[in-house]
Amino acid sequence: MNALSDNAIEILRENDRGTYTVPTKGLYPFQWNWDSCLTALGQRHFDEARAWTEIETLMAHQWPCGMVPHIVFHKPDDGYFPGPDVWATGRPVPTSGITQPAVAGFALRRLFDLAKDRTAAETRVRALLPKVAAWHRWFFATRDPAGEGLVAIVHPWESGRDNSIDWDEAFDRVPTEGVSPYTRRDTQHANPAHRPTKEQYDRYLWLVEHFRSLNWETSRLHDASPFRVVDPGFNGILLRACADLADLADHLGEVEIAAENRHFADRGLAALEGLWSDKDGQYLCKDRVTGTLVQSQSIGGLLAAFAAIPQDRAARIAQTIDSHATRFRVASHLPSDPRFDAKRYWRGPVWLVVNYMVADGLARAGQADAADAITASSLDLIRESGFAEYYDPNTGEPLGGGRFTWTAAMVLEFLSMER
Catalytic residue positions?
A: 162, 389
Cβ atoms of 190 and 27 within 8 Å: the answer is yes
Among 20, 32, 276, 340, binds ligand GLC (CB under 6 A): 32
Binding residues for ligand GLC restricted to 267-296, rule: CB under 6 A: none
Give the H or E element holding residue 251. Answer: helix 232-252
Cβ atoms of 375 and 414 within 8 Å: the answer is yes
**35 vs 43: CA distance, rounded Å:** 12
By C-beta, is 28 or 139 nearer to ligand GLC?
28
Q: Is 398 in the site for ligand GLC (CB under 6 A)?
A: no
Side-chain-facing half-sphere of 101: CA atoms under 13 Å: 30
Q: Is 402 in the site for ligand GLC (CB under 6 A)?
A: no
Stretch that binds ligand GLC, among 32-40, 72-80, 140-148, 307-315 (CB under 6 A): 32-40
Q: How far is the CB of 28 from ligand GLC (least distance, A)?
A: 5
Instruction: Using CB under 6 A, count the residues that bind ligand GLC.
Output: 7
* CB neighbours of residue 339 within 10 Å: 13
**28 vs 23: CA distance, rounded Å:** 6
By C-beta, is 203 or 267 nearer to ligand GLC?
203
Q: Is 28 in the site for ligand GLC (CB under 6 A)?
A: yes
Binding residues for ligand GLC restricted to 144-163, rule: CB under 6 A: 160, 162
Stretch that binds ligand GLC, among 29-37, 90-98, 265-273, 320-328 (CB under 6 A): 29-37
Q: How far is the CB of 233 from ligand GLC (least distance, A)?
A: 11
Q: Which phi and psi angles does 129 have, rounded to 5°? A: -50, -50
Q: How far is the CB of 100 from ligand GLC (least distance, A)?
A: 6
Q: How far is the CB of 261 from ligand GLC (least distance, A)?
A: 24
Q: How far is the CB of 103 from ligand GLC (least distance, A)?
A: 11
Q: Is 35 in the site for ligand GLC (CB under 6 A)?
A: yes
By C-beta, is 34 or 135 nearer to ligand GLC?
34
The answer for 366, left when phi > 0, alpha when psi is -120 to 50, beta otherwise, is left
By C-beta, is 149 or 160 nearer to ligand GLC?
160
By C-beta, is 112 or 167 nearer to ligand GLC?
167
Cβ atoms of 241 and 105 within 8 Å: the answer is yes
Q: Which residues does residue 16 pair with via DSSP β-bridges, in sequence order?
A: 21
**298 vs 291: CA distance, rounded Å:** 19
By C-beta, is 160 or 268 nearer to ligand GLC?
160
3-state secondary structure of 147: coil
By C-beta, is 35 or 244 nearer to ligand GLC?
35
**200 vs 171: CA distance, rounded Å:** 8
Q: How far is the CB of 263 from ligand GLC (least distance, A)?
A: 29
Residues 6+ apart with CB under 8 A from 188: none
Q: Is the peptide bond before 82 cis (omega within 30 degrees of 0)?
A: yes
3-state secondary structure of 277: strand
Q: Is 166 in the site for ligand GLC (CB under 6 A)?
A: no
Q: How far is the CB of 163 from ligand GLC (least distance, A)?
A: 8
**249 vs 113: CA distance, rounded Å:** 13
Among 23, 69, 233, 348, binds ligand GLC (CB under 6 A): 23
Alpha helices in 144-180 (DSSP H): 156-159, 168-171
Q: Which phi and psi angles does 302 have, rounded to 5°? A: -95, -35
Stretch that binds ligand GLC, among 31-39, 218-226, 257-265, 278-286 (CB under 6 A): 31-39
For 185-236, give the DSSP string: SHHHHS-GGGS--HHHHHHHHHHHHHHHHTTT-HHHHHHH-S--EE-HHHHH
Stretch that binds ligand GLC, among 28-36, 302-310, 336-344, 375-383 (CB under 6 A): 28-36
Binding site for ligand GLC (CB under 6 A): 23, 28, 32, 34-35, 160, 162
